[in-house]
Amino acid sequence: MDIVLEIFDTIIFDRLYATVLPASFAGYSAQNIGHATTTFSSTRESPTSVPPSTQIWQLEPSQYAFMSTWPRDNIWRQTLSLYLITWLFGLVVYFICATLSYLFVFDHATFTHPKYLKNQVSLEIKQASTALPVMAIFTVPFFVGEVRGYAKLYNVLADAPFPLYNVFQFPFFILFTDFFIYWIHRGLHHPRVYKNLHKPHHRWIMPTPYASHAFHPIDGFAQSVPYHVFPFIFPLNKIAYIILFAFINVWTVFIHDGEYVANSRFINGAACHTMHHLYFNYNYGQFTTLWDRFGGSYRKPNDELFGRDSKMSKQEWERQCKEMEMVQQKVEGDDDRDYGDVGRSLQKKLV
């Protein structure tokens, strides 16, 4: 995360802190020389030197990098900066990824599905927008630990434990996080936990890409913990770290976009995740179906989902609704969702 922080420091935060918390040059120099280290995106030996967060490149700092009482390596500044990045930049990434998927991938015929909620997109956006700032509070301590050198992040490929690790780290990260997310997600479906924490995400029976981050904040954070724990246990290249976190955001949108491309026994794509939203107690995995198979919770997506006409047929929708309502009654009790006039009329017909 120090690479991301250095970029934001250079572009935004140096000038912001210099304006809000200005300092005299002499006072700043004495403080900085005493506290700077190579781990931090901060001054090192003099108030005109800023070590890079990575050996691959260095951003040239402006004069504002040396003009605040809070230097770059100040823990309070790092905490506040990382919180703003996690919240606001996370919100921007969410909107960009979800909107691109919504415009170019998502099948808008889903709007006519009887289990599509009234004003659902706006409700999903509201849920995500209120969850992200709270999730950021719980996430920032991990990022601060990374920036201050407690994680096992490394700079260049030569620093890997062995050469092939630079390739191995990608599938290793996916398998590690997929395993723990599976069990966390399955635990969130325990009756004592589900209604208080996980039900807000299951409000969306037929999700849109905007449902990707529409969680209860503790639910969303809990499922992200394996991502943050990994670099404190295992080595991870800094660039690979950024690539993987970008991939996670795209993937989370992808499995909610309703475009059933991956008809695979092993990939937990949008079709598998749609089965989870429809029928609740299946397909808890994030990336693969591996742990669902071991845990006995895998459910193969209906073949009808992979045909454009069959997945949008009235017959398929009525079959989905009938089974979904039976499962939903057992899991949640009375259904308090507002499906609008179309959904209510079909519900009456099925009843």
Contact 195, 332 (CB under 8 A): yes
Residue 336 tokens, joined: 């308090």
Residue 61: C-alpha distances to residues 13, 42, 44 (Å):
11, 10, 13
Query: 184 phi and psi, to 5 degrees?
Result: -65, -45
Contact 272, 283 (CB under 8 A): yes
DSSP 268: -
Q: What is the pLDDT of residue 68?
A: 92
Contact 76, 22 (CB under 8 A): no
Distance CA 6, CA 54 (A): 10
Q: What is the pLDDT of residue 138?
A: 97
Q: What is the pLDDT of residue 43?
A: 38
pLDDT tens digit at each of 351 positions of the chain: 899 999 999 999 999 999 999 987 544 444 454 444 444 444 334 455 677 777 777 788 888 988 999 999 999 999 999 999 999 999 999 999 999 999 999 989 889 999 999 999 999 999 999 999 999 999 999 999 999 999 999 999 999 999 999 999 999 999 999 999 999 999 999 999 999 999 999 999 999 999 999 999 999 999 999 999 999 999 999 999 999 999 999 999 999 987 777 678 899 998 899 999 999 999 999 999 999 999 999 999 887 777 767 777 888 888 889 999 999 999 999 999 999 865 445 444 443
Q: Which amino acid is at 85?
A: I
Q: What is the pLDDT of residue 37?
A: 43
Distance CA 71, CA 41 (A): 9
Look up the pTM and report it.
Answer: 0.86
Please write down the long-range contacts of 324-333, taking CB distance under 8 Å and 24 or more positions apart: 324/115, 324/205, 324/278, 324/279, 325/350, 327/279, 327/280, 327/281, 328/280, 331/194, 331/280, 331/281, 332/194, 332/195, 332/199
| Three-class SS state of 68 | strand
